[in-house]
Structure 1
Amino acid sequence: MITLHALKYSRATRVLWLLADLGQPCNRVDYDRTDSFRAPDSLKQVHPLGKSPVIEDDGEMVAESATILRYVAAKYGDEAHTPPQDTAAYWQHEAVLDYVEASFAEVALQAILPAFDGKPVPDKARAALHQHLDYITQLIGDGPLLFGKRATLADIQMSYIIALLAQLDLLGDHPAIAAYWDVLQKQPGYIAALKAAGPMAPSV
């Protein structure tokens, strides 16, 4: 059984969502955040960078959300959370799955961090965020999810950053993304993950 090292209010919820969708249990080890909302030092005993999520399985340790999602899908032979591999949509999906943390997260955090501290979001950060939100609106298209009606690994990956932005009222004039977030919150795996481990985003 997979062991999941899960920090509260973190990307670990993504892994719980996928496991719930697949009906697979895990041994979850929970970690509370410090008073300054950082990961505790105890996570550095698991991963040198103190990262979460991290999974352990059959003596192997795997970090990085996108890699963990791919690992879990491969381990359990899951093909329901990606488009068929012989289609262009499959590679579009792979690109979006990596885009979330490789490109979008860094830009989003430039707005999230000051907003979380109750400070104004710099105009430059807000403009960059809106550029990415426009791009994600294009990705959603006719929706309701990124690749149609079924939640994919890319949707699960996207959910955490969108949750933070929604909590901080940073989605702005992007009704398609607000509607997308509403649909994400109705997914059975999302609901199960929050029931097991609490909300993705903290109250502000």
Structure 2
Amino acid sequence: MVAMPSAKRPAEPFTPLHFQLVLLRRMADHNPGLVEDARRGLGASVAEMREANKRWQAMLHAPRGRGAASRYRSVLGAPESTLTRKVGDLDCEAWLFPVPLWPDLRLEVLLAPNGAVWNEWLIRAPGVPGPDLRTLEDLTPWSCTVDEAARAFAPARPLQGTAPTRWGLSFTAPDAAGARREVVAEFTWGLLQRTAVSG
């Protein structure tokens, strides 16, 4: 008698926990120690982090997948708050979602007037004071967001990211002795990962 193949179990829902593992997976190349501590804090294994990232990538590239905006809503639920952001002459809608790994940050999903997602990254939560960024020594991994570094060390020049969800900034900042140094800062999902210093 031939055994019938067992029915494939439906995949468990993709939850905010899985999304946080996706964020961590993208940061692991730069800060494996920080990622390891955060992953353990979430109670997830390395295999679970890899699987979450694999499922997220499959959702991104599915031929009939949800649009980016509806994908975020299905995974993260309704936004905690909605703001209007001015981009050039356009009024865009920004959805803010909490990220328990970083209680002082929010995931900002920026939508164009036609509903397409223009940008998605971590920002400081409204009303929460940002870090006091004065010197190179203040630029530690995970200490600040793209916009915070750009404001603190203006004028900063945006750089092409090395991969999706990655950004770069080039600026001048003083070291502890007061000498001005040329800095390239790298960010993943909008959060500082590392800096390279010259000059």
Normalising by structure 1, report the TM-score: 0.29
Higher relative contact order (CA 8 A, sep 6+): 1
Larger of the two Rg values belongs to structure: 2
| Larger strand percent | 2
| Larger helix percent | 1
